[in-house]
Structures are given as C-alpha cells and as structure tokens.
Amino acid sequence: QLEASLMGGSLTLGGGSKDKKLSAIVGARYQNRNLVLNTLKGDTNFNPEYYDVQANINYKLNDKWNVAFLGTMSRSRYEMFPIKRETYINTMDTPLLLTVFYDGKEDDKFATETGSLSFTYQPNSKVDLGLDVFAYHSKEREYFDIQGSYFISEVDEKGHATSTNDVGSQIDHARNNFDALVAGIQHKGKYKINGNNDIEWGAKFQQEDIRDLLGEWQAIDSTGYVMNPNPGNGLNLSYYVNSKNNLKTNRISGYAQYTSKFMWNDAKVMFNAGVRAAYWDFNEETTVSPRAQIAVKPDWESDMLFRFSTGIYYQPPFYREIRRLDGSLNDKVKSQQSIHFIFGNDYEFKWMDRPFKLTTEVYYKILNDLNPYYVDNVRIRYTADNNSKGYAYGLDMHLFGQFVPGIDSWFSASYARAYQNIDDRGNIPLPTDPRFKLSAFFQDYMEFLPSFKVNVNLIYASGLPNGAPQFADPYQYQTTLTDYKRVDIGFVKEIINQKELKPSKGTFWSNFKEISIGVDVFNVFDIKNEISNSWIRDVNSSAVYTMPNYLTGRFLNGKINFKF
C-alpha cells in the first residue's frame, strides 16, 4: 500500500510464503509538517521532519512453536526560528499591546529504536506459553538559544500603539541531552481450564540505564540591567539548572488473573479478577494492585450489557518523575495511586433498519500520592514529590452507527473534572482538567455517485487550565484557555475498488485492489485555538504576562492512496 500527501507519505509491504509458515509486513513513513505549521499565528519559521520504519516478521516452526520479531526505528528533528509575536493584554486601567521580537532558534532531535523477539509454545489446546526478549533505546537532544526583546505599549481604541511603557529582553538557553536504554525479558502464560474458565499469568524483569545532561538558564533584563533574584549565588540569571545524572536500576513485575463465564438465571455473566505486583530497586518500593470487573448481559428484549470494574492502579515513576526541577534526583518518590470505580452500559439497537450502539460510562477515581507537574510547551516538568492528592469523576457517552446506509459515523459527549490538592492548600484543577467535550464524525455519499464520499469532523471542548510558569505557585494561576472549536471536512473519490469499481481484466489497472484520491480541509473556519502559554516576565513591574500559543489554522491537504 502506498499513500502520498502534501505532508508526506507512507509505504507498506506485506507478504507470506506459500506454505504459510513465514509472513512479514514492513512499513515506512515520512512527514514534514511545514505546510501545517505555517498556518500558526505569529511570524515563525518551522522545519519539522519525521520518519520511521517498522517491521513485523512471524515464522511458524511447527504446530507448537512460533517465533516473531517486532522492530521500530524513528527519527525526528524540530527546528524553530521565531521572529515576532504580538498579543493584547486586558488590564483594569487600559489595554496594552505586548510585542516581542525574537532572535535565535530551537533545534531538537529525537531518535528511538525498539525491538522484541517473541517465542510462543502451545503444547496443546489448553496451554499457551510465551517468552519475550525486548529492548528500547531513546536519545533526545534539546538545544535552543532564543532572545526575545519585548515592548509593552498603551493602545488607542483602534488597537494602535501610542506609547511604550516597558522595554526589556529575555534570553532562554538550553543544552539538554538524554539517553535511555531499557532491556529485559518477560514470560506470559495462559491455561484454559475449560470453555468458560481460564487463568493467565506473567512475569517481567527489565533494567534501565539512563544518562541525562541537563543545562538550562534564563536571563531577563531591562534596558541593560540584568535581574538577579539570588544575588548571593553570583549568577545573574532568573533561573539556572545544571545537572549530570547516570542511573542504572532494575524492575521486577508480575501479574495473575482469573476469568470465568457463566449463567446467572437467564443472564450471561463474565467475571475477571486479578492482581499485579511490581518492585523497583531505586526507591525500594513494592506495589500490589488488585482489580476486578464483572459484566452482565440480561435476557431482555433490548440488547443490553452492564459493566462494573474497580481496582487499585499504580503508575510507577520513570526517570522524569524522579527528577526535581533543579535537576537532582529524589529516591523517595513513590508510585502515583488511583482507586477506580467505573460503571458502564452498552446498548445495541436498530434504527431505520440500521445497526447502532450506545456506550455510556460513569466513573469516579480517588487519586493519592500525586506528583505535581508543570506543562512547559510540549514538555512536562515534575516536582518529584508525592505532596498532592485529588479525585476525578466524569460521564462519557458514545453513539456509533450507520446514519447513512453502509457508512459508519459517531457522536460523543463527555463531562469530567479532575482536581488536585497540593500540601492540603485546597482543591485546584489538574493541568489536564478536561471539563466538557462534544464531538462528531459524520460520513455521507451521493446516491448517484456512491464512490464519492464526504466526511465532517466537529469538535467543541472547554478550555484547559492556563497552567503556570516553572517554579511558580500554581494556586496563583487559576484561569483557563479559551474554548476549543474545530471543523474539518474531507472528500474521497474511489477510482478503483475490486468489489464495485473493477477495472478491465488484463489491463495495467487490474493490478490494483484500490485507488483513491482525497482532499482534506482542516480547521475550515480558521479558528485560532489556544493550546498553552508562553510567559514573559517584566523586570520593572515584576509582572508575568501570558502570550497564548495557538494550534494550526486552516490548511489544505491532498492525498492519493494505492493498494496492490
């Protein structure tokens, strides 16, 4: 399969041997998002490139043994040359215009390789055994030197600058290098007691070897005067982080679960219960996580399924979660805990003689030992301390079906809240507090031309929390971004389809299973959606101003797809 578009392309090759013992599929992708990012608000030049290669190879040695390999390799580079940004600031007295002229660039590189060799053994119809050897390697480089000279001006009723109040500059510098190698071995097994009962188990050992060089600083000055919040340290910087960490640790984990299906009067019941345990020698923490779920399908005229699940879930910390904001490591950080209570319902029905499914879920989660964090552009910076707790609750509804015969569409709505309480200071929203979201994906075609399809994607969501600058008190930054609104439209014309649009036999086009061309119009109404903030510190007034970062505007993408 070959696909090409204005943003890149992909190639997928797959095949198998005649004796059906060997099968393989290999895929490669290349993407360059210049076309998309050039729609961003502001005067900035971007050059983001990404490519990856994936391979999955399976070989059946005999009726009992199978060997499989799964490997991936990806590379990405992100270059940014900011030039100018303008934003209006509404104050109590008079509106202000914040203008920033930039110099410098950001140049980031990321490389990842993964590999897994799996052996499966099935001695009989009741037993499945597996052994995996795996490795993961990641290298990250974040380099930037960006100077922003800012001017804060008063504006008239037409938005034109009249006088300049403050002048200053801000320099952000980073030389960050991260290298992580994770390798291990795991065993999985399954035993079918009978047709309705089985048990599963697994055990894993992995070693993590991490090397981290962190070097960042920020300098702020006003008309040549450099601000120094810590005069005693001899560094005229608003913040300075410099660390070198080498860490090699080991993890051991395992799980076991039991599944049973049975009849309860006239109702069908599925029950699953299990436990997962883990140990990490860095913080010497052992976690035990029991969980269970039950599903009941009553013998009703309406096709209904009721589900309930509960359990204690842990998120073991990885390297980022144990690194403090100053770059040092905290070996006392524990896993974040979540106690789940989830109730769900699946309702399948027919409307206008077409199939539909309505899925509804209600949940409540108790959050303990939370690790507070800041969202810095696309980076997450943890405080590396379990000094917070919280809770989350919500309602999700999803309607899936064929509103148009033969074509699937869906509608969804959700309301959710997520809170944290840092050091018992009171509840504030988590940085990812979602609140309300409504979305729809609708497809249609013309009766006289069914090979021409149109799809519309609509999204409305409440704005996320604004977040807070690093090292700042999040309780002082409790506003939200503007609501998210977006409409996308896509057009696809099938030229060849072996089921309906068959080419003449023996011709060149008969070698293709499918050929289609399409055009996508993303963000049709060119809505400027906010995603985060950049923070500008004013030396003279000690104020911190926000400059919204926007997602992409309207853009057009053309694509063509071949299947052989």
- Write down the pLDDT at residue 33: 77
Residue-level pLDDT at 235: 45
Query: Can you give the residue ranges of every domain in the chain?
Result: 1-170+179-249, 257-447
What digits encode the pLDDT tens for the residues 106-117?
999 999 999 999
Going by the DSSP 8-state scheme, the letter that residue 42 receives in this structure is: S
Helix intervals (H) in 166-296: none
Following DSSP, what letter does each residue of 468-495 receive, concatenated?
--TTS-GGG---BPPPEEEEEEEEEEEE
Torsion 549-551-555-557 (CA) sign: positive
242 forms beta bridges with: 215
Low-confidence stretches of the chain (pLDDT beneath 70): 35-42, 90-94, 158-161, 163-166, 222-236, 498, 501, 503-504, 506, 538-542
Residue 215 sits at the vertex; the CA angle it makes with 212 and 220, to the nearest 5 degrees, is 155
pLDDT at 257: 97
The 10s digit of each residue's pLDDT in 529-542 is 988 887 777 666 66
Give the number of C-alpha atoms closer than 13 A to the C-alpha of residue 514, restricted to the C-beta side: 13
* C-beta separation of 486 from 528 below 8 A: no
Residue 125 DSSP symbol: T
Residue 238 is predicted with a pLDDT of 77
What does the pLDDT read at residue 229? 45
Residue in this structure with the two tokens 């993890």, named with its chain if needed = 251
Give the tokens for residue 285: 């923490």
pLDDT at 225: 44
pLDDT score for 223: 47
Strands 514-522 and 544-550: unpaired
pLDDT at 437: 97
Would you state the pLDDT for residue 293?
97
Rounded CA separation 227/236 (Å): 6
Q: What is the DSSP letter of 328?
A: -
Whether CATH 2.40.170.20 fits 257-447: yes
3-state secondary structure of 304: strand
E strand or H helix at 392: strand 388-404
